[in-house]
């Protein structure tokens, strides 16, 4: 059977040209990878989340549709929680790098990397 360039694990195309979607699984199929800092949840609408991703200078907004509203809520909560953990990690890393140095208000810090 031909697959017409589509991923064979998602679709089945018979020799007569008819296409059918394979049954859903509980497994996530990885298609894209983005750093968490480049993922922004714009809004959640019932069973879907509107997400903006950035890759270099290109931004894309997509709607991710879940099977249930609970799954959409869990996804948005997970992204929010992970972004908060990442921000806390950056704060701790900066504090450790400063080793107790106190900056004055509005004082700039130049980092040499």
pLDDT digits (tens, 9 = 90+) for 35-90: 888 889 999 988 899 989 888 888 989 888 888 888 888 888 888 998 899 899 98
Looking at residue 88, what is its pLDDT?
92
d(CA 9, CA 59): 28
d(CA 43, CA 73): 11
Provide the percentage of residues in the chain whose pLDDT is more than 70.
Answer: 74
d(CA 77, CA 60): 21
Q: Is the per-residue pLDDT at 8 higher than 70?
A: no
Looking at residue 6, what is its pLDDT?
45
DSSP 87: H
Looking at residue 103, what is its pLDDT?
77
**Among the listed ranges 21-25, 29-33, 71-75, 82-86, which one has the minimum average pLDDT value?**
21-25
Q: Is the per-residue pLDDT at 9 higher than 70?
A: no
Please indicate whether residue 10 or residue 60 has the higher confidence score (pLDDT): 60
Looking at residue 2, what is its pLDDT?
43
Please indicate whether residue 15 or residue 54 has the higher confidence score (pLDDT): 54
Which residues are within 8 A (CB) of 29 and not within 5 positions of it... i.e. 6 or more apart? Answer: 7, 9, 10
């Amino acid at each position: 059977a031909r697959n017409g360039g589509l991923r064979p694990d998602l679709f089945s195309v018979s020799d007569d040209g008819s296409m059918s979607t394979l049954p859903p699984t509980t497994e996530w199929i990885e298609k894209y990878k983005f750093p968490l800092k480049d993922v922004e949840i714009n809004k959640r609408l019932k069973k879907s989340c509107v997400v903006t991703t950035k890759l270099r200078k290109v931004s894309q907004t997509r709607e991710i549709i879940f099977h249930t509203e609970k799954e959409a809520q869990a996804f948005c909560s997970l992204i929010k929680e992970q972004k908060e953990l990442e921000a806390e990690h950056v704060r701790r890393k900066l504090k450790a790098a400063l080793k107790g140095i106190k900056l004055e208000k509005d004082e700039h810090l130049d980092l040499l990397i």
